[in-house]
Chains A and B, each alone.
Chain A
Amino acid sequence: MPASATPSGATSADRTIVAFCCRECAYAAADASANARTPLPATVRLVLMPCTGRVSPLHLLSALAEGADGVMVAGCLLGQCHYREGNFNAVDRVAFVQRLLKSVGVEPERCRMFTMSAGEPPKFVAAVREMDRVISGLPPLPRSGDGESRAPRHGAGAASGAAPAEELLSSARGAA
């Protein structure tokens, strides 16, 4: 997956998107897309929820406060919730979180809701790619109180993991 560069020099691979997925629809769609070996952006982390109605504003805001650059909620099509109206609750909660974010000066696009059915893996992949595109176009989410000591994420992990792999590669070449 090519990482798109942003003005700050950071790449989209440095970002993290947390996707809260409904077990009945979106997670099933994610499962099906994985079975079809469709590549997803490396930024996304899936969280299984029994229903998007379980997602509370606290889940969304804590994810953002703890290191995510964007959160998405993926649920059933409106009117097709397996628990009748869980996704309607989620729609309103996401709208509420967007207004909260906006009122304190954070881009409301960092929190979004998508709907799909279990039989639409391409729609799930498109939603994740759309979210990844939006988030990689935004600067990293600034947080107070973590300054430089921001928890290392996979960007740093990949750098430290690269050295042993190089060593291994060169030793393999030497042996050959």
Chain B
Amino acid sequence: MPLTNRGREILSRVPGGSLQSTVGVGCEIVRHEELCVGCGTCARNCPSGASERGDFFDVNQLLDAPEGSRRGELGAALRRLMQHEPDGPVEVPERVTVYRTIIYDDDKCLGCGTCARGCPADAIEARPPKADAAPRRPAATEGVPA
């Protein structure tokens, strides 16, 4: 989450202060797009804006969806009709809300795992950070004196 001006000022007064997250917070976020139902809960909950609802929909998400799910049923119907592999993502009209691909930006991600906790479809996994991985550092730290 970006710092407020006041926060930035306080941080500048702390000797050796920086925004590096503590070890164990920066989880590795793994998204399973085929399980995603497109509800957008992750995008709503994300504190850093790393997950966003896109304006397009990847048709392969329907074809890969597990059998018995709503997207899976739609994918099964589409598989019977299709003449060739999908041409690529389709643009989604404004009022179609759930058939959207979530755009996940790894650079903005803090690794807090809020998206994984809130995901109703268990499509996001927050794995513990690897011991040798560098701690995640939000983009806002740039320009802040260390």
Contacts and interface: CB of A to CB of B under 8 A. Distances in A.
A38 to B, nearest CB: 32
Given A92-B96, A104-B59, A58 B73 contact: yes
B32 interface: no
Interface residues on A, range: 20 to 34
A117 B117 CA distance: 47
Interface in B6-26: none
Interface residues on B, range: 20 to 34
Interface string A54-87: 0001100110111000000000000000000000
Interface stretch (A3-11, A137-145, A161-169): A137-145
A123 interface: no
A163 B70 CA distance: 44
Nearest to A110: B81
Contacts of A93: 93, 95-96
Given A58-B77, A100-B59, A88 B83 contact: no
Contact of A89 (B76, B81, B95): B95
Given A99-B91, A100-B90, A104-B86, A64 B74 contact: no
B78 interface: yes
A56 to B, nearest CB: 9
Contact of A105 (B74, B82, B91, B94): B82
Nearest to A62: B77
Nearest to B75: A61
Contacts of A92: 93-96
A61 B96 contact: no
Nearest to B89: A103
B39 to A, nearest CB: 15
A100 B92 CA distance: 10
A95 interface: yes
B44 interface: no
B132 interface: no
A64 B81 CA distance: 8
B81 A61 contact: yes
Residue of B74, B92, B99 with highest tally of chain A CB at under 10 A: B74
Contacts of A65: 76-78, 80-81
B107 interface: no
Interface in A122-169: 141-146
B87 interface: yes
A28 interface: no
Interface of A: 57-58, 61-62, 64-66, 88-89, 91-93, 95-96, 99-106, 141-146
Interface of B: 57, 59, 62, 70, 73-74, 76-88, 90-96, 99
8 contacts: A57-B74, A58-B70, A65-B80, A92-B96, A99-B91, A106-B81, A141-B81, A143-B80
The 3 closest A-B pairs by CB, nearest first: A105-B83, A104-B82, A92-B93
